Amino acid sequence: MLRFRNLAVAGVAVLGLAGAVLGGAPNPASAAGDPVIGMQVLDLLCTSKGGSPYNTPMTISRCQDARTKEGFQVEQLICEGLLEGSFRSVTSPTRPKRVNWFCFPGSITP
């Protein structure tokens, strides 16, 4: 039940973030979503998949040891689509079937 509540809260937050982005004035400053709100949404999604969110000065959001079963398409869409960031993920070196993912501000060259 707790997982369902977390997903419901995350869904409502995503819809609110999408509405804020779409309903804002059409200027470059409001084209991307608010990184603080995006961080909160991504942190909720991280915990709903059993991960541990971490805040660092170089990322919008960071999640350690999230379950890979359902994938990370929603997290990537929020990071890249709404927050204009770059989403990266790597397999956890300490836990099999777990992933550490990151949402960096701006674009990152490979």
Domain boundaries, the chain: 2-105
Q: pTM of the prediction?
A: 0.68
52-66 confidence digits (pLDDT tens): 999 888 998 999 999
Distances (CA, A) of 87 to 1, 3, 4, 52: 29, 24, 25, 17
19-44 confidence digits (pLDDT tens): 444 454 444 444 567 778 888 999 99
Name the strands in the sheet holding 52-54, side by side, starting at the edge strand that comes first in the sequence: 52-54, 61-67, 98-105, 85-91
The one-letter code for the residue type at 27 is: N
Name the DSSP letter for residue 30: G
